[in-house]
Amino acid sequence: MATLLIKGGTVVSATGRTEADVLVDGEQVVALLAPGSQLLGTDVGAGVDQVIDATGKYVIPGGVDAHTHMELPFGGTFASDTFETGTRAAAWGGTTSIIDFAVQTYGQRVEDGLAAWHGKAEGNCAIDYGFHQIIGEVNDASLKAMDGLIDEGVTSFKLFMAYPGVFYSDDAAVLKAMQKSAATGLMTMMHAENGPAIDVLAVQLAEAGKTDPYFHGIARAWQMEEEATHRAIMLANLTGAPLYVVHVSAKQAVAQIATARDNGQNVFGETCPQYLYLSLEDNLGAPGFEGAKWVCSTPLRSKAEEHQDELWKSLRTNDIQMVSTDHCPFCMKDQKELGIGDFRKIPNGIGSVEHRMDLLYQGVVDGRITLERWVEITSTTPARMFGLYGRKGVIAPGADADIVVYDPSGHTSIGYEKTHHMNMDHSAWEGYEIDGHVDTVVSRGKVIVDGGAYLGRKGDGRYLKRGLTQYLV
């Protein structure tokens, strides 16, 4: 098996940084060595197959994006990234593992939904991948099927308090599913918005002629997110289920999560890059139909209400534990354009899987988070939260050799014509400048990105069977 030495860099973990050389044998890290170490009187580098010079650079565990939607059917179309294109783009950006969502729709068996997603992903992924399970219809059959998810390596499931008629679960359904969560150890993931109330507001806005993309954010007001987040927390409290609230965008929802955690409840939250940087006014409110590029749910929030500052603060205080992307890309042509004249018909989603690591590193440069916290919220905590830690999220002997060499002296200009490998006809991050650069990406010991070249191939990624996590606040 091939050996690899990454030498001269600063290895950064969630708990600190150290000058060390990383020795890889085959697919695993086998040692962290003092710089210039010798084995049997010989420099380590003299006996390995490949040496990467990381002098002046950070050596970090590969990113784990725990919330993506490749090929998701939604709004009369499909997410534009396939598992092939989406995972390749992720690799370019320093993400070496994703957890996508297998979908059970109304009238479908859970087992068939999971099998369908295995069929989409197998042999197509550039990086390692796992699955959560969307439970689109909570009934006796789906509740029974959930008992078998753990054996399949799927240890979390997602419910929606939004999208009546598509994925929506009412309170009774949520209660039943959470009881199953408490009994099995499965993590309940929740899209927390009051969908029926949102639909009323959306109809009223449309009838008043307020149909531009901007009004997507008005219909999905922060009160709709806070209320549903509180309701989900209360149902989790009643049942004893662990709860993970996805794509938190409103500071009021953060406060609900923080209170629950302060009370000792196993409640967790993620946010996404779009909520840290983009806004209702600047993006959804762009002239004409341009704002459709940034239609997602939960929606972008008002910059004037200081949601962004509170979200960054919550990442520092650990009231929010991690940052995923909710990567669900749609092209403008023939997809977002379905909603011209009616914001309700715009497919909900933004493409970010390629840019998450860079965008969060800019938070380090700007003094929003520490270098160690960057690694923690983009890699280590996602691996811990979803049963991958030890293999993923850490550079240590025995771990998979998923490693990123990141240059803090480099620069990345994000844009459709610049750093863009996602299957989209635009970039939601057009014009963003990052004071850092992903130089080299290693996936299970194989260099897949280096020197501006993609060296991986379709099928490099393997399915990750995930274990249960011991949930602790």
Instruction: List, in order of start, the domains of the chain with CATH numbers.
Output: 3-60+391-454 (2.30.40.10), 62-385 (3.20.20.140)
For the chain, how far is it from start to end, CA to CA, in angstroms? 41
How far apart CA 125 and CA 277 sit, in angstroms, is 29
Would the pLDDT of 44 be above 80? no
Would you state the pLDDT for residue 383? Answer: 97
* 213 membership: H or E segment, kind and range: none
How far apart CA 311 and CA 388 sit, in angstroms, is 26
Would the pLDDT of 473 be above 50? no
Q: SS3 for 136?
A: coil
Band of pLDDT at residue 472, cut at 50, 70 and 90: very low
- Give this prediction's pTM: 0.96
- Please report, as a single letter, which amino acid is at residue 86: G
Extended beta strands in 105-263, E state: 128-135, 156-160, 187-191, 243-245
Query: Mean pLDDT across the chain, nearest whole number?
Result: 96
How far apart CA 104 and CA 434 sit, in angstroms, is 38
Each as own residue / partner, the long-range contacts of residues 209-215 (CB below 8 Å, 24 or more positions apart, any chain) are: 211/341, 211/342, 211/343, 212/288, 212/289, 212/291, 212/343, 213/284, 213/286, 213/289, 213/290, 213/291, 213/292, 213/294, 213/295, 213/339, 213/343, 213/346, 214/280, 214/284, 214/285, 214/291, 214/343, 215/343
* Residues making up the chain, counted from first to last: 473
CA angle 5, 7, 13 (to 5 degrees): 100
Would you state the pLDDT for residue 171? Answer: 98
Q: Which of 399, 360, 458 is nearest to 93 (CA)?
A: 360
Band of pLDDT at residue 40, cut at 50, 70 and 90: very low
- Note the pLDDT tens digit of each residue in 214-255: 999 999 999 999 999 999 999 999 999 999 999 999 999 999
- Note the pLDDT tens digit of each residue in 358-388: 999 999 999 999 999 999 999 999 999 999 9
The β-bridge relationship of strands 128-135 and 156-160 is parallel
